[in-house]
Amino acid sequence: MNRQYYLTLLLCIGTFLFSRAQPTRNLRNENADTTDNRQLQLTFDYLSNKTYLGQQNIITEKYLSPAISYYAPSGFFTAFALTKIIDPENRFDEADLSLGWSFKVLKDAEASLSYSRFSYSKQSLQLGSSLQNNFEVAIKRDGVITPALFFDMFFGKGKPDFGVRLDVYHDFEMDNLFTNDKDELLISPTVSIIAATLNFYTLYLRDSSLARTRQNIGVNVDSNFQLASIELSLPVEYDLGRFMIKPEIRHTIPLQEVRNSDNKAATYFNLSLGFFLMDE
């Protein structure tokens, strides 16, 4: 079956799910109870590795990432994050700045528009280091089963890449587990299907500056738009007042072959700690 078949199937699934869903969560900030909130949040994340459009780094790197995010009642949001490699090296490797706007598109559907700028160190070996800019359009319609579609355009050092991601998840929510009215547990098993071009992957593997590390690995990546990966994730978020902790397990299954590389299914672990400086 060719890539047009898979793309059609992806969009049909998204259309079917959007037609059946009902609203429950805020698109720009899933911790918010209402779009009228003004929020300022600090987060500190640990990542056991990164993936880009479903493709994993060839060299496994572990990261710490502090970030600050602001959400306005108008729908405007912005965030700044630093990323530090802690294994196998020890250095700050990335800085990201994002801004955007979320809004209602229907009575029971929300959308967002955003731009992100990524800056990497000259020594960076991250798979996404050639992707310096991203425009994203997202739309979701919440319900018992919640679908969300993300349309992304990446551009930077090489040819631009286009990606479409369909997330489908269900929320299991439990309130007041240990307090009368201040804590909440949210478990959201998620299936993600990603279709994309992978020009950045070819550039990453063939970049002469990485030749000594990559040993000029040959590639067999079709940069045409096609299915790139399937991802299964299980985030578990616990909120207590202004504090948040969220461990997450992700299992990524790449669907494109890369010769002489270890691009196979892998499982990752993330841990996020957060604190709301402002929530009013």
pLDDT digits (tens, 9 = 90+) for 82-118: 999 999 989 999 999 999 999 999 878 899 999 999 9
pLDDT average, residue stretch 116-125: 91
In whole angstroms, what is the distance from residue 33 CA to residue 31 CA? 7
CA angle 205, 228, 45 (to 5 degrees): 75
Give pLDDT tens digits for 175-191.
998 888 789 999 999 99
Whether omega before 235 lies within 30 degrees of 0, making that bond cis, reads no
Residue 34's pLDDT is what? 40
Residue 221's pLDDT is what? 52
pLDDT average, residue stretch 160-174: 95
Q: Is a pLDDT exceeding 80 seen at residue 232?
A: yes
Q: Is a pLDDT exceeding 70 seen at residue 151?
A: yes
Q: Is a pLDDT exceeding 90 seen at residue 56?
A: no
Rounded to the nearest integer, the mean pLDDT of the chain is 82
In whole angstroms, what is the distance from residue 235 CA to residue 190 CA? 8
Give the pTM.
Answer: 0.82
How is residue 133 written in tokens?
């800019």
Closest by alpha carbon to 232, among 277, 275, 169? 169
In whole angstroms, what is the distance from residue 20 CA to residue 236 CA? 25
Confidence of residue 258 (pLDDT cuts 50, 70, 90): low
Confidence of residue 173 (pLDDT cuts 50, 70, 90): very high
Residue 25's pLDDT is what? 33
Q: With contact defined as beta carbons under 8 Å apart, do 118 and 81 qualify?
A: no
